[in-house]
Chains A and B, each alone.
Chain A
Amino acid sequence: MSASVDSSAALIPAVAQGDMAAFEAAYDRYSGTLYALLLRILGNAEDAQEVLQEAFVKVWTTARMFDAARGSEVAWLISIARSKGIDKLRSRKIRSDRENDAGREISIHSAFVDKTTGADVAILSQERIAVRNALAELPEAQRIALELAYFEGLSQSEISERLHEPLGTVKTRMQLGMKKLRERLQAFR
């Protein structure tokens, strides 16, 4: 059996059946997003490539655990890659080095989640544009708190220290931000 490479077709159930073509299609479809995520988390290509390999090995070996009723396959793959990326980040203690660059990274990321215009449109899918616009609607303080947790694996108290904000404030911002993301999610399902 060979999976369709139609961008809307689910691939992971076929991968779970040992369909190599579906696995290749999944790689082609998602590796760019996962690699971008890992670059964002790890900050260097070598680590990102190593973790990307590990992530796809895990996809191949655990595909049967994917449950479409619980979420989309892109979310499932992103969760695997993010988890492995954060593990790598922590294991290599990259965090301390990255902290020095934290302000720069936030500003970089803040710049690219701004509403997309001009030439960017040509290289972005409609969904990505919609996602970026949804993210841009988040208040900056909420988005920054979420990004520090998601991309840098920081705890509530670490974020509180980093932003010089009370722990309760940080927690509330993250919860409000997540509620808004959940509301926006309906448009991408």
Chain B
Amino acid sequence: MIAHDEAQEIAALDAVGAASAEEERDLGEHLAACAECRRVRDEYAEAVTLLARGLTPVPPPAELRELVVSGEAADNVVDARRRFGSSKWWLATAATIFLALWGWRELTMRVEREKYATQEAEIRRLAEDNLRLSQNNEKLSAEMASLASAGTRTISLSGQQAAPSASARVFLEPERRRAIVFFYNLPANAKDKSYQLWIITAKPQSAGVFDVTGSGNATITIENLPVATEIKALAVTLEPRGGVAQPTNSNFFVMGSSSL
């Protein structure tokens, strides 16, 4: 609850009709439990009427007095309210129709806006798919060109104890120091693991990491290979996800020697 000082400051504004709704609420809560601030509020309410009491009185028309003191004014007010009441159903009907039309229009616009947003999202998704397919197409074209190159050499990797039925085939372009490797029948790796291909030269160098899903197959492209004659062998291990700098184990899944 607000303090007395704050309550009295709000009471000053409230008296002149300038307190906000929130201030009025806070003031009401305070006044309910504070007789002293209620007294101050009453004084402010009295004080603000000085603004009106400074006006020069203007006698209203004489006939108005008769209306008021004879009770006709009350009748007029009642009649006015009755007239308003009798016209209320028109207002209510008009308001209902207006609200219904407005609501229908808003609903229609909202549906159209949602439809438009959905279509826009679909267009964006298709554009992204198109871009991805174009990139795949370029990649496949490059791989096809690599495979068809006259200088391409092939290295076969065979399954080891960890995956006897697995195999891999390496298509290597020595001149471009690039290779494409196709893996077959490897077991699917766990989510926290990655397969990692090693090129064995003087010591193992990582040639990339890859995942294998249910099909057991995977393909990777290797760029910037070591000079072909330095490649002694290629092997695959299972490592922590994302790969490591050096193999953490010698449990090879596929492995093969280079005869280049």
Binary interface encoding of chain A residues 118-136 relative to chain B, with 1 for a CB under 8 A from any of its CBs, else 0: 0010011001100110110
Chain B residue nearest to A85 (CB atoms) is: B52
Cross-chain contact of A49 among B13, B43, B60 (Cβ < 8 A): B60
On whether the beta carbons of B50 and A188 are closer than 8 Å, the reply is yes
Chain A residue nearest to B63 (CB atoms) is: A49
On whether the beta carbons of A36 and B46 are closer than 8 Å, the reply is no
On whether the beta carbons of B64 and A71 are closer than 8 Å, the reply is no
Most buried by A among B43, B45, B51, B76: B51
Chain B neighbourhood of A127, CB < 8 A: 53
CB distance from B201 to the nearest CB of A (A): 75
Chain A residue nearest to B65 (CB atoms) is: A27
In the assembly, what is the distance between CA of A184 and CA of B51, in Å? Answer: 12
In the assembly, what is the distance between CA of A70 and CA of B60, in Å? Answer: 28
In the assembly, what is the distance between CA of A132 and CA of B16, in Å? Answer: 18
* Segment of A5-13, A52-60, A96-104 engaged in the interface with chain B: A52-60
In the assembly, what is the distance between CA of A113 and CA of B56, in Å? Answer: 10
On whether the beta carbons of A32 and B58 are closer than 8 Å, the reply is yes
- Size of the B side of the interface (Cβ < 8 Å), in residues, is 38
Interface residues of chain A: helix, strand, loop or mixed (majority): helix
On whether the beta carbons of B52 and A37 are closer than 8 Å, the reply is yes
Chain A residue nearest to B9 (CB atoms) is: A175
CB-contacts of B1-57 with A (<8 A): 9, 12-13, 15-18, 20, 40, 42-57
Is A63 engaged at the interface, CB distance under 8 Å to the other chain? Answer: no
Is A164 engaged at the interface, CB distance under 8 Å to the other chain? Answer: no
Chain A positions near chain B (C-beta within 8 angstroms): 20, 23-24, 27-28, 31-33, 35-37, 39-40, 48-49, 52-54, 56-57, 60-61, 70-72, 74-75, 78-79, 81-82, 86, 112-113, 120, 123-124, 127-128, 131-132, 134-135, 146-147, 149-151, 153-156, 159, 171, 174-175, 178-179, 181-182, 184-185, 188-189
Task: Other than A32-B59, A154-B18, give 18 A-B pairs with Cβ distance below 8 A.
Answer: A23-B69, A54-B73, A71-B42, A71-B46, A120-B56, A128-B56, A134-B54, A135-B50, A146-B16, A150-B51, A155-B20, A156-B18, A159-B18, A174-B12, A178-B44, A182-B40, A185-B47, A188-B50
Between-chain CB contacts (< 8 Å), 30 pairs: A23-B69, A32-B58, A33-B53, A36-B52, A49-B61, A56-B68, A57-B74, A61-B74, A71-B45, A75-B45, A78-B49, A78-B53, A82-B52, A86-B17, A113-B54, A128-B54, A131-B54, A132-B54, A134-B54, A146-B16, A150-B16, A150-B51, A150-B52, A153-B17, A156-B18, A171-B13, A182-B12, A182-B44, A185-B50, A188-B50
Chain B positions near chain A (C-beta within 8 angstroms): 9, 12-13, 15-18, 20, 40, 42-61, 64-65, 67-69, 73-74, 76-77
